[in-house]
Amino acid sequence: MFVLRNWETTGLVGFEQVMPGVYFGSRNSLDEASGLVKKGTLKPQDFRFFIGYAGWQIDQLREEIESDYWYLAACSANLIFGCSQNNATSAGGLWEEILQLMGGHYSDLSRKPKQDI
């Protein structure tokens, strides 16, 4: 999956806006994304790719969130795309930066070795 940044108010056909300026894409929309880069509508740095798989049964994610297996956080397009003050470029760096910005217990979690989390 990937997210892309676009500040145009017209939106992008074939992509789902998940927050202002940020759109979701998947393997099915790679050709469209490639075409937008070739046309100059978007630049390669407007994309952030995430590799892996996540899938849930009906209500499973909601139940996992309620059981504190996941942490919800407000976010911004600038943070997702590495424009924040720490400029987190890796997915791990982004995760750590968001936890630190949340403060308190979450900030402590960001400093723990990965196998302890």
Same domain, 35 and 78: no
User: How do residues 24-77 score in pLDDT, each as one tens digit?
Assistant: 888 888 898 999 899 998 889 888 887 777 788 999 999 999 998 888 888 888
Q: Which of 53, 73, 95 is the last residue of a domain?
A: 53
Same domain, 110 and 82: yes
Number of domains in the chain: 2
Q: How far is CA 36 from CA 43, 53, 102, in A?
A: 8, 25, 35
Alpha-helical regions (H) of the chain: 30-39, 60-66, 77-80, 91-102, 104-110
Same domain, 74 and 108: yes
Identify the domain containing residue 62 by its residue range.
Answer: 57-117
Encode 47-71: b = buried (16+ Cβ within 10 Å), e = exposed: bbeeeeeeeeeeeeeeeeeeeeeee
Same domain, 45 and 63: no
Residue 25's CB is within 10 A of a number of other CB atoms, namely: 19
User: How do residues 24-38 score in pLDDT, each as one tens digit?
Assistant: 888 888 898 999 899
Q: Measured between alpha carbons, how far is 16 from 14 in angstroms, rounded to an integer?
A: 7
